[in-house]
Chains A and B, each alone.
Chain A
Amino acid sequence: MGSEAADSLNDALLAEIRNLRAFATSLCGNRDLADDLVQETLVKAWPKLDTFEPGTNLRAWLFTILRNTYFTHYRKRQREVVDSGDSAFAALSVPPEQPGHMDMQDFRRALGQLSGEQREALILVGAAGLSYDEAAKVCGCAVGTVKSRVSRARDTLAEILDAPPGGDAVEGGSSGTGDDT
């Protein structure tokens, strides 16, 4: 590639690092591991840049490389280090110096209860700004699958957030549902 094209791709890559870090953290739940993952993604992406189709979404292209790297190498390694279970967002917990974010903590917990597939789809579409089409390519599945994962993820979140476990926020007991009978 010409050096001008290389420069502009270099800038574009640089601009995507923030998104790569956020997506990587959501996948592995560990910031250090996430940065290793981003680094490896960049190293892998660089020599393949000439296979990137201009006009398509660079973010989605990079996410695909990052996700494949994660599932082929990192997940195994990570299981050896920590049993992260379903707490993939543990590392994103609100730092202690930020009190008063109860809502957000509830939301994180709820997000942690989703399946990995649902959480991933929701993050790609709802936070990373990918289209359903692009998210489907990243995840290697059908568009319809992504749509249904996102929709189920939203439903589950709404349900969890609407009905906190224990239900101690509800007054008036069983008849307080406002149902017409």
Chain B
Amino acid sequence: MDQEAHSERGNAARRRGPGLPPDIQDKIGQQLRAIYDEVADKPIPDKFVQLLKELKDKEKG
């Protein structure tokens, strides 16, 4: 039992640290960007374009 628990900790330790395999790092990066881009790739709502225009116009007076 002890040995089994020990070996599980060992596996966890191997997955940790700076030694994350590059393919896992890549996969994490890809999925992270996919989630982020799901919002970022949406068209910009008109209200923001309008807002910037108003801010600019206000400044010009």
Contact = CB atoms under 8 A, between A and B. Distances in A.
A126 B7 contact: no
A91 B42 CA distance: 14
Contact of B39 (A22, A126, A154, A159): A22
B37 to A, nearest CB: 7
Given A6-B56, A39-B51, A177 B36 contact: no
A104 B34 contact: yes
Interface residues of A, number: 43
SS class, residues of chain A in contact with chain B: helix
Nearest to A101: B34
A57 interface: no
B59 A6 contact: yes
Contacts of A155: 15-17, 20
Given A13-B52, A127-B36, A177 B24 contact: no
Interface of B: 4, 7-8, 10-12, 15-18, 20, 24-25, 28-29, 31-42, 44-45, 47-49, 51-52, 55-56, 59-60
Interface of A: 3, 6-7, 10, 13-14, 17-19, 21-22, 25-26, 31, 34-35, 38-39, 42-43, 46, 89, 92, 103-104, 107-108, 111, 122-123, 126-128, 151, 154-155, 157-159, 162, 174, 177, 179
